Amino acid sequence: MLRVRPIQFTSDVAAWKHLLTMLGLVCIEDHGDWVEFDAGSGRVALHRTATDSPDDGTTVFGVEVGDLAEFARRTVADGTRAELFDADHGQAVRITARDGFAFLADKASSRTTSPEADPDLAVVGTWLTPDVPGAAQELRNIGARSRQVSSKFADFSTRNGGILLVRESSEPAGGGLSFEYDGDLAALEARLAAAGLSAARTGSILTIQAPRGGTISVAGPA
């Protein structure tokens, strides 16, 4: 299996929980400092950090898989570096791309998605890189499915939920938290406003003010 699951670091977990709930995600695990939410497609984890931490407000690119050892074996066999190791939170697989970008695949707590999550909402993980074709191949090697690929951008679906994007950039890095929405973007904007959340719509893009600064983008139907 393969599911998109970025991690949002924040010192204001309560505000993020409110925002994600109003977006249509459903909390499936709440351990205080670690909270997981299902969208209709994909998952988001919140990780509490200190207010003065440089991690506050950052997003970490990541995925979930079923069998860690088998995932690592298949990824290596397909030509991408993958290492099973003992992380602070337990075993994980570290994937290291040729552009130097590295991210983790964690073991999924479940293969199912909450039926209460908004089915029109998909979590997006973004990889910024100077080598879009190379990064696109690395994502194919971990099991992602191509939707469209060019020299400057690529996007992929995953078997168990979420979208993976590759965008051209001067340096390899993970992008911020974003979503795709296949429903009525104006209705979503109104729902957020009714919940006291600031959002502005430009064409098919809804930009939402995130807790403690920064923004989240939601791409609606073109």
pLDDT at residue 106 is higher than 90 = yes
Using an 8 Å Cβ cutoff, are 188 and 194 in contact?
A: no
pLDDT at residue 222 is higher than 80 = no
pLDDT for position 102: 98
Percent of the chain beyond pLDDT 90? 93
Strands 102-107 vs 90-96: parallel, antiparallel or unpaired: antiparallel
> What digits encode the pLDDT tens for the residues 142-171?
999 999 888 899 999 999 999 999 999 999
pLDDT, mean of residues 113-129: 97
pLDDT at residue 100 is higher than 90 = yes
> What digits encode the pLDDT tens for the residues 89-98?
889 999 999 9
pLDDT for position 93: 98
> What digits encode the pLDDT tens for the residues 168-203?
999 999 999 999 999 999 999 999 999 999 999 999
pLDDT at residue 111 is higher than 90 = no
> What digits encode the pLDDT tens for the residues 24-72?
999 999 999 999 999 999 999 999 999 999 999 999 999 999 999 999 9
Cα separation, 144 vs 27, whole angstroms: 25
pLDDT at residue 213 is higher than 90 = no
* Average pLDDT of the chain, as a whole number: 96
